[in-house]
Amino acid sequence: MSHYWILAAILLPIVGGVLLYILPFKNKKYMHSYVELIVIITSVITGLVLFKGERGLLEVVHFVNNLSISFKIDGMTVVFAGLIAILWPLATLYAFEYMEHDEREKSFFMFYTMTYGVTLGIAFASDILTMYLFYELLTLVTVPLVMHTLTREAIHAVRKYLYFSLGGAAFALMAMIFIIIYGDSCEFILGGVMHTAAEGEHAPLLLWIYLLSFMGFGVKSAVWPTSSWLPQAGVAPTPVTALLHAVAVVNAGAFAIIRLTYYSFGTDFLAGTWVQYACMAIAIFTIVYGCSRAVKESHIKRRLAWSTVGNLSYIIFGATLMTPLGLAGALSHFVIHGFMKITSFFCAGAFMHVTGKSYVYEMDGVGRKMKCIYACFTVSALGLMGVPGFAGFISKWNLTEAAVESGNGLAIAGIAALLVSAILTAIYMLGVVHRAYFPKNEAVTIENAKDPGWKMCVPIALCAAMTVILGLFASPMVEFFEKIAFGIY
Amino acid sequence: MAFVQNVPFFSIMLSMFSGIVSSILPGKWARRLNTFMIIVVAALSAWLFAFMATSDIGSYTYAMGHFPAPIGNELRAGVLEAGTALFFCIIMLLSLWGGREKQILEITERQQNLYYILCNLLLSSLLALIYTNDLFTAYVFIEINTIAAGGLIMVRQNGHCIEATIRYMIMSLLGSGLLLMGICMLYDLTGHLLMSNIKEQVDIIMAAGTYRIPMLITIGIMTVGLAIKSALFPFHSWVPDAYGYSTVSSGAILSSLVSKGYIFLLIKIFYRVIGFDTIAGSHILNILFIFGLCGMIFGSVSAIGENDIRRMIAFSSVAQIGYIYMGLGLGTEMGVIAAVFHLLSHGATKSLLFVSAVGLTDASGGSRHFTDLTGAAFRNKTAGVGFLVGSFSMVGIPVFAGFVSKLLFAEAAVLLPNWKMFPTLIVLAVSTVLNAIYFLKTVIRIYTPVKPEVLAEKGFECKHFKQQVLFGVTIVLFIIVNLILGMKSQPIIELIEQGLHNFM
Amino acid sequence: MMLILSIIVPILWGLLILLIRDFKSRNALLAVTGAGLAVAAVLGVAVILSGDAELFLFSFGKNLSLYFHVDNMGRIFAAIVILVWLIAGFYAFEYMKHEKEEKRFFGFYVMVFGILHGLTFAGNMVTYYLFYELMTLLSVPLILHNRSKEAIMGGLKYLFYSLFGAYMVLFGIFFLNKYAVTMDFIPGGTLDMSAVLGHEGLMLAVSFAMIIGFSVKAGMFPLHAWLPTAHPVAPAPASAVMSGIIVKMGVLGVIRVVYYIIGADFLRGTWVQTVWLILTLVTVFMGSMLAYREKVFKKRLAYSTVSQASYILFGLALLQPSGLTGSLLHVVFHAVIKSCLFLSAGAIIYKTGKTNVDDLRGIGKEMPVTIWCYTIAGAALVGIPPLSGFISKWHLATGALESGLGVFSWLGPVVLLVSALLTAGYLLPISIKGFLPGADYNYSEITKKEPKLIMVVPLLILAVLTVLLGIFPGKLTEYISALIGSVL
Amino acid sequence: MGVNLVQNIGEAVAMILFGIGFANLFFQKNLIKKIIGFNIMDTAIFLFLAEKGYIAGRMAPIVVDGIQDVEAYINPIPSGLVLTGIVVSVSVSALMLSLTIRLYHRYHTLDLDEISAKLRKEEM
Q: What is the DSSP string of B306-343?
A: --BHHHHHHHHHHHHHHHHHHHHHT-SHHHHHHHHHHH
Distance from CA of C203 to the nearest CA of A (A): 12
The pLDDT value recorded for residue A65 is: 65
- Rounded CA-CA distance D32/D96 in Å is 9
Predicted confidence (pLDDT) at residue B1 exceeds the cutoff of 70: no
Contacts D122 to B, Cβ<8 Å: 159
Contacts C146 to A, Cβ<8 Å: 441
| Residue A446 or residue B223, greater confidence | B223
The pLDDT value recorded for residue A198 is: 65
Helix (H), strand (E) at residue C273: helix C271-293
Provide the pLDDT confidence category of residue A2 given band limits of 50, 70 and 90. Answer: low
Provide the pLDDT confidence category of residue C234 given band limits of 50, 70 and 90. Answer: confident
What residues contact B277, with CB distance under 8 A and at least 6 apart? none
Question: Once rounded to an integer, what is the mean pLDDT over residues C226-239?
Answer: 84
Residues paired with B263 in a beta bridge:
none
* pLDDT averaged over every residue in chain A: 84
What is each CA distance from D23 to B177, B222, B292, C102, D10, in whole angstroms?
Answer: 12, 17, 24, 96, 20
User: Is B145 among the domain residues?
Assistant: no
Closest to A191 measured CA to CA, from A78, A120, A271, A256:
A271
Task: Classify residue D111 by its DSSP letter.
Answer: B
The pLDDT value recorded for residue D124 is: 62
* pLDDT averaged over every residue in chain C: 84
The pLDDT value recorded for residue A154 is: 84
The pLDDT value recorded for residue A199 is: 65
Task: Classify residue B34 by its DSSP letter.
Answer: H
Provide the pLDDT confidence category of residue A274 given band limits of 50, 70 and 90. Answer: confident
* Closest CB to B433 among A65, A167, A174: A167
- Cβ atoms of C399 and C362 within 8 Å: the answer is no
User: Is A294 among the domain residues?
Assistant: yes
The pLDDT value recorded for residue B70 is: 64
The pLDDT value recorded for residue A1 is: 54
In chain B, the number of structural domains is: 1
The pLDDT value recorded for residue C450 is: 74
Encode pLDDT of B250-283 as tens digits: 888 888 888 888 999 998 888 888 888 877 777 8
What is each CA distance from B236 to B226, B291, B295, B328, C329, in whole angstroms?
Answer: 12, 11, 9, 18, 90
C159–A430 CB contact, under 8 Å: yes
Encode pLDDT of A175-225 as tens digits: 788 888 787 777 888 877 877 766 667 777 788 888 888 888 888 888 888
User: Is B495 among the domain residues?
Assistant: yes
Q: C31-42 burial string, b = 16+ CB within 10 Å, else e?
A: ebbbebbebbbe
Question: Once rounded to an integer, what is the mean pLDDT over residues B127-138?
Answer: 88
Lowest average pLDDT, out of A113-117, A174-178, C238-242, C285-289, goes to: A174-178
What is each CA distance from A112 to A13, A251, C46, C387, in whole angstroms?
Answer: 9, 17, 59, 74
CA distance from start to end of chain A: 18
- Rounded CA-CA distance C239/C84 in Å is 12
User: Is B69 among the domain residues?
Assistant: no
Predicted confidence (pLDDT) at residue A64 exceeds the cutoff of 70: no
- Rounded CA-CA distance A400/A394 in Å is 10
User: Is A198 among the domain residues?
Assistant: no
Asked if A touches D (at least 3 Cβ pairs < 8 angstroms), the answer reads no
- Rounded CA-CA distance B246/C443 in Å is 107
* Closest CB to B174 among D25, D112, D119: D25
Encode pLDDT of C109-120 as tens digits: 888 888 888 888
List all chains that touch chain A, counting a touch as 3 or more CB pairs closer than 8 Å: B, C
* Closest CB to A404 among C64, C152, C175: C175
The pLDDT value recorded for residue D122 is: 75
- How is B79-147 classified by DSSP, letter by letter? HHHHHHHHHHHHHHHHHHHHHHHHHHHHS-GGGHHHHHHHHHHHHHHHHHHHHB-BHHHHHHHHHHHHH
Lowest average pLDDT, out of A107-121, B16-30, B142-156, C436-450, goes to: C436-450
Helix (H), strand (E) at residue C118: helix C102-121
Contacts B167 to D, Cβ<8 Å: 112
- Rounded CA-CA distance C101/C105 in Å is 7
Distance from CA of B422 to the nearest CA of A (A): 10
Question: Once rounded to an integer, what is the mean pLDDT over residues C223-235?
Answer: 84
The crossing angle, in degrees rounded to 10, of helices B7-22 and B112-131 is: 160
Tell me the three state secondary structure of residue C436: coil
* Closest CB to D88 among B140, B167, B188: B140
Contacts B165 to D, Cβ<8 Å: 99
Provide the pLDDT confidence category of residue D1 given band limits of 50, 70 and 90. Answer: low
Question: Once rounded to an integer, what is the mean pLDDT over residues C267-278?
Answer: 86
Cis peptide before C222 (omega within 30 of 0): yes
- Cβ atoms of A230 and A294 within 8 Å: the answer is no
- Radius of gyration for chain D, computed over Cα atoms and rounded to the nearest angstrom: 20
C133–A478 CB contact, under 8 Å: no
Provide the pLDDT confidence category of residue A131 given band limits of 50, 70 and 90. Answer: confident
| Residue B34 or residue A185, greater confidence | B34
What residues contact D65, with CB distance under 8 A and at least 6 apart? none
The pLDDT value recorded for residue A109 is: 85
Predicted confidence (pLDDT) at residue C239 exceeds the cutoff of 60: yes
User: Is B267 among the domain residues?
Assistant: no
User: Is B311 among the domain residues?
Assistant: yes
The amino acid occupying position B113 is N
Helix (H), strand (E) at residue C67: strand C64-69
In chain A, the number of structural domains is: 1
Minimal-distance CA residue of chain B relative to D35: B170
User: Is B7 among the domain residues?
Assistant: no
The pLDDT value recorded for residue B75 is: 85
User: Is A21 among the domain residues?
Assistant: no
User: Is A38 among the domain residues?
Assistant: no
User: Is B455 among the domain residues?
Assistant: yes
User: Is A55 among the domain residues?
Assistant: no
Lowest average pLDDT, out of A21-30, B47-56, C31-40, C462-471, goes to: A21-30
Predicted confidence (pLDDT) at residue A391 exceeds the cutoff of 80: yes
The pLDDT value recorded for residue C347 is: 84
Provide the pLDDT confidence category of residue A94 given band limits of 50, 70 and 90. Answer: confident
Contacts D96 to B, Cβ<8 Å: 166, 169, 173
Cis peptide before B234 (omega within 30 of 0): yes
- How is D46-80 classified by DSSP, letter by letter? HHHHHHHH--TT-B-S---TT---GGGB--HHHHH
List the domain range (segments joined by +) for residue A445: 271-489
Mark out chain A residues that contact chain B at CB-CB < 8 A. 61-65, 67, 104, 129, 132-133, 136-137, 140, 143-144, 147, 150, 155, 158-159, 162-163, 166-167, 170-171, 173-174, 177-178, 180-181
The pLDDT value recorded for residue A423 is: 86
| Residue B86 or residue A246, greater confidence | B86
- How is B170-214 classified by DSSP, letter by letter? HHHHHHHHHHHHHHHHHHHHHS--BHHHHHHHHHHHHHHT--HHH
List the domain range (segments joined by +) for residue B349: 283-504
D22–B174 CB contact, under 8 Å: yes
Distance from CA of B473 to the nearest CA of A (A): 21
* Closest CB to C178 among A404, A423, A441: A404
Contacts B406 to A, Cβ<8 Å: 173
Distance from CA of C102 to the nearest CA of A (A): 14
Provide the pLDDT confidence category of residue B457 given band limits of 50, 70 and 90. Answer: confident
Encode pLDDT of C52-71 as tens digits: 778 887 887 777 888 888 88
The pLDDT value recorded for residue A197 is: 65
Provide the pLDDT confidence category of residue B499 given band limits of 50, 70 and 90. Answer: confident
Encode pLDDT of B246-258 as tens digits: 888 888 888 888 8
* Closest CB to A387 among C59, C133, C160: C133
User: Is B252 among the domain residues?
Assistant: no
User: Is A172 among the domain residues?
Assistant: no
- Rounded CA-CA distance A204/B413 in Å is 17
- Rounded CA-CA distance A262/B388 in Å is 35
Distance from CA of C129 to the nearest CA of A (A): 8
The pLDDT value recorded for residue A232 is: 84
Give the Cβ contact number of residue C52 at 10 Å: 10
User: Is A129 among the domain residues?
Assistant: no
Minimal-distance CA residue of chain A relative to C213: A419
Predicted confidence (pLDDT) at residue C277 exceeds the cutoff of 60: yes
- How is C2-62 classified by DSSP, letter by letter? HHHHHHHHHHHHHHHHHH----SSHHHHHHHHHHHHHHHHHHHHHHHHT-S-EEEEEEEET
What residues contact D41, with CB distance under 8 A and at least 6 apart? B173, B177, D17, D18, D20, D21, D22, D24, D25
Cα angle A445, A446, A451 (rounded to 5 degrees) comes to: 110
- Cβ atoms of B317 and B390 within 8 Å: the answer is no
Residue from D96, D100, D111 to probe the interface with B (highest B Cβ count within 10 Å) = D96
Task: Classify residue C295 by its DSSP letter.
Answer: -
The amino acid occupying position B340 is V
Predicted confidence (pLDDT) at residue C363 exceeds the cutoff of 80: no
| Residue C69 backbone dihedrals phi, psi, to 5 degrees | -150, 120
Predicted confidence (pLDDT) at residue C339 exceeds the cutoff of 80: yes
Domains defined for chain D, CATH in brackets: 2-123 (1.10.287.3510)
Distance from CA of B398 to the nearest CA of A (A): 5
Closest to B354 measured CA to CA, from B368, B342, B340:
B368
Give the Cβ contact number of residue A294 at 10 Å: 26
The pLDDT value recorded for residue A348 is: 87
Cα angle A266, A269, A275 (rounded to 5 degrees) comes to: 100
- Cβ atoms of B73 and B65 within 8 Å: the answer is yes
- Cβ atoms of B343 and B258 within 8 Å: the answer is no
- Rounded CA-CA distance B371/B247 in Å is 22
Closest to B37 measured CA to CA, from B96, B105, B82, B84:
B96
- Rounded CA-CA distance C352/D8 in Å is 121
User: Is A180 among the domain residues?
Assistant: no
**Pairing verdict, β C54-61 and A58-62:** unpaired
Question: Once rounded to an integer, what is the mean pLDDT over residues B171-194?
Answer: 87
